[in-house]
Structure 1
Amino acid sequence: MIKFRIRPEPIVPMPRFKSLEISNPSFESNNLRFITVKTPNLKGRGDICVYAPPGAVCTDSLPVVILLHGVYGSAWSWPYSSGVHLKVHELIEKGELPPMVIAMPSDGMWGDGSAFLPIDNYNFEKWIAEDVPDALAECIKGVNKQSPLFISGMSMGGFGALRIGAKYGHKFRAISGHSSITSLPQIKFFAEESLKHYAQDNIIDEDVFETFLHYRKQLPPIRFDCGTSDLLINYNRSLHKKMDKEGIPHLFEENPGGHEWTYWAKHIVQSLKFFATYL
């Protein structure tokens, strides 16, 4: 009797998301792509705007920077308020940055801003820390489970980046914040929603310094900056002093400027170059 050995089919990972759509390359411009993905963490769909460097090879493990917006904003805020994708492309072309993917997700679109926290049975934190990297790995060439991850943001996005980056320190190579809210009560400078809606069970999830203290054994490299005319400058100075006192390594810079896109458009480059040193 002749015996035949059946070669097993290669194992293909099952897509994590039931529905995920990505823009048609025929209609994209300036290397920007748009992803919409449904996730239980949002109880619906979320958007991610992505700068993907041209010529990315599928076998590469391209670094990914998750870039968080502030209150009132969404997935379009960073590219269309600062032109960050154009700056990144130029710096890559000049050899001043390595090829990297910039992922700019919405915050979940709750109220004036979700603060990237778990609120009202939505988990805007896990949307950023878990869903966004997984969605990129499913549909952006060059992004996979081995891709180095970084996270940054401005204002409310700085709060989210520093807090999530510390809490999920095992996932991120380095983190940064620009003009960051450093403690949850400061969101009242911007959002009309009552502070009680943002309240967490533990101060560790409401205050960046307390987050750093709690997760100090897994903290990735940290940098943050703030404009000297920014309404949040004293809060950022206070965070810097507390971290110095506790011996938590970090870089802090003050620069001329206020709480404005001209400031963030300029200084995001410092964060990207900071991240590049950890590749």
Structure 2
Amino acid sequence: MTTFKTTELSNPEFESNHLRFMTIKTPNLKGRGDICVFVPPFKDLKDVPIITLLHGVYGSAWIWAHKAGVHFTALQMMQEGKIKPMVLAMPSDGLWGDGSAYLPHSGKDFEAWITKDVNQAVIENIACTSKTSPLCIAGLSMGGYGALRLGAKYPEIYKGLSGHSSITNKNQMHLFVEEDENNYNQENLTDEDVFLLLQKNKLRLPPFRFDCGMNDLLIEQNRTLHQRLKKEHIQHTYQEFEGKHEWSYWQEHIKDTLLFFDSILD
């Protein structure tokens, strides 16, 4: 029994590199949403963890795979025994403007699309997953904001969180998008701010990490988040590496996220 009015799934005969594509119709988007899924090619898998990877501005469901090659990275790490098999679910953000910020606004619930629809669509259509599959979420830039914010807001859903080069508050979206930042306004200001949500739910948070390149335009925002978390004694891992706000950085450091999730799902 499917949750969705319509579901289109790619034909395995034409798939490549273990990537599957699906398009589902959901009331949360008032239309269709795309998900690219890496399915590990091993036998007898069941209840495999589902890792949601959120993209940044300008991108869509294809971009983690085809600008960072994350499916090749993950498969190699699995084959080398560095991580256990995991499914990577890479959804679009809903394709609003330059980026939806994964917030509910403009009459659409881009938040529920990620926290509800994406997980459900994967469980319904990817045989090695189930309702008991543990869920983790990560992202880059706007997607890092989405991952940390949604994980902090819904700590009961996710077992682990990770952000790369993350926006930390809605008020940084103007650095990237041409749309009016007021479109992203939430009724409750806490819902716009990663730190405030982490603080609000600090007794229930799953393990989380975030990192940023030392030459990234968001480095000071990430350092500030780290310092505020330290001051509040909220346990987390923060790392800085060489690099800028660019795909070569994310291609390299997604490895840190996959290792982190593997360690907490042991």
TM-score (norm 2): 0.98
CA contact (8 A) 1:107 1:115 kept: yes
Aligned to 2:22: 35
Q: Find 1:146's aligned residue among 132, 141, 144.
A: 132
Aligned to 2:181: 195
Task: Indicate whether 1:26 and 2:13 are aligned.
Answer: yes
Q: CA deviation at 1:68?
A: 0.2
User: Which residue identity is paired with 1:25?
Assistant: P
Aligned pairs for 1:84-99 within 5 A: 84-99=70-85
Q: CA deviation at 1:217?
A: 2.2
Q: Find 1:79's aligned residue among 61, 65, 70.
A: 65
CA contact (8 A) 1:227 1:233 kept: yes
Q: Deviations over 1:73-128 (max 9, x none)?
A: 00001000000000101111111110100000000000000000001110000000
Instruction: Count matched residues.
Output: 265
Aligned pairs for 1:136-215 within 5 A: 136-215=122-201
Runs of 4+ in 1 over 6 A off after TM superposition: none
Q: CA deviation at 1:56?
A: 4.7
Aligned to 2:109: 123
Q: Deviations over 1:217-238 (max 9, x none)?
A: 2211010000000000000000
User: Which residue identity is paired with 2:259?
Assistant: K
Task: Indicate whether 1:103 and 2:86 are aligned.
Answer: no
2:60 and 2:43 mapped to 1: Cα distance?
26
For the residue of structure 2 that corresponds to 1:218, the secondary structure is: coil
2:202 and 2:79 mapped to 1: Cα distance?
37
Task: Indicate whether 1:278 and 2:264 are aligned.
Answer: yes
Q: CA deviation at 1:55?
A: 2.7
For the residue of structure 2 that corresponds to 1:209, the secondary structure is: helix
Aligned to 1:46: 33
What root-mean-square deviation, in Å, do the aligned CA atoms of Structure 1 and Structure 2 show?
0.8
Q: Which runs of 5+ in 1 are unaligned?
A: 1-13
User: Which residue identity is paired with 2:87?
Assistant: V
Q: Deviations over 1:36-59 (max 9, x none)?
A: 00000000000000000013536x
Largest Rg, 1 or 2: 1
For the residue of structure 1 that corresponds to 2:25, the secondary structure is: strand
For the residue of structure 2 that corresponds to 1:217, the secondary structure is: coil
Aligned to 1:253: 239
For the residue of structure 1 that corresponds to 2:122, the secondary structure is: helix
- Give the fraction of aligned pairs with identical amino acids, expressed as a percent: 54
For the residue of structure 1 that corresponds to 2:264, the secondary structure is: coil
Q: Which runs of 5+ in 2 are unaligned?
A: none
Q: CA deviation at 1:216?
A: 1.5
